[in-house]
Structure 1
Amino acid sequence: MYKVGLTGGIGCGKSTVSDLFKHYTIPVIDADEIAYALVVPGQPALKKIQTVFGAACINANGSLNRGLLRESIFQDTEKKQQLENIMHPLVYAEIDRQLNQLTSAYVIISVPLLLETRMQPLVDHILVIDCPMEMQVNRVKLRDNLSEEQITAIINSQVGRTERLIHADSVIHNTLDMSYLSEQVNTLHDQFLKQAQ
């Protein structure tokens, strides 16, 4: 099975592109969705996070206080590393588990931190979703209600746009309207089907 690693900076439109591939009944394994599921109340990862980061990072209802944790890791690289050491092995183990259950011609594996975690060997093809930084900031502002300072900190913590594009086998430019995006996905879908043969 041909494995396409979909990546890109925050606000570039990875989820929108993933949804377009789903229209072709192509399975999408989403690392962000896996990470969210791993920290619901009762999951071992949440208990590990509480042990390392303290009870303050858990809300009264037992859920993860994502805002507090986000602030904590962006101010302290050591804490960021601790969180990654907890989460990344669990996320990649679940990706493997899901891959082993699939029989499709190709699969999209959406991993925002594919390059940062040096997991390029996991995939056969790297597809980067790209847009200018100003677009990223504006989209995330509308979506997540974060300040420009917070968004910039997140962008700066990720691999730079230039480096991401250097590693890309294909690039989707998410700078225009939905029909333009759909055309690019359609072209790549046909390409991936051929490469999967």
Structure 2
Amino acid sequence: MWRLLLIFILTLSFQTLTKADDITDFEIEGISIGDSALDFFTKEEIKKNSKKYYKDKKFTPVEMNNFSFFKKYSGIDFDYKSNDPNYIIHAISGIISYKNKNIEKCYNQLDNIVNDIRISLPGFQEEEKVAETHSVDEESKITRVAFWGTSGVIIVNCYNYSVTLGWDDHLALTINTNKFNDFLITAYD
């Protein structure tokens, strides 16, 4: 199987990818959909960084920040089935924070990534770029582009949080399996 590495260059443009046809062909910091999280993190690290976002407990979200092997991202978020002893990854996101509220840099990177995904995944259906209000408050915005394929979805988001929230703006490159996307429909009910 081909494994491709999505490389962000924070101060320069995004590097072009080789053509791929499946979401499992992509890596974020060397981690792919279908990998065991145990190949990269200990059980203790996973448990310590697990979150309780979903009312439905079928999947467990995990946020890993500032690990020494992270080269391009400040954080990696992933989800695994809660009862899976192998911690197989069904969703993964690479996060780049903008502590200085430089959202224009995020928008430029989003556009560069989207252009590279278009080239890399010609068989995926691209949704039009949308900007919408974030559910946390009316001043916070999300700008997103999604690419849908038979194996799942790749989404590129820029989160522009209001100054009153005090949260860091960030870019998230997210890869989800179809099974995980189906779960998200009811995860918060």
Give the TM-score band, short-chain normalised: under 0.3
TM-score normalized with structure 1 length: 0.26
Q: RCO greater where, 1 or 2, for CA within 8 Å and sep 6 or more?
A: 1
TM-score normalized with structure 2 length: 0.27
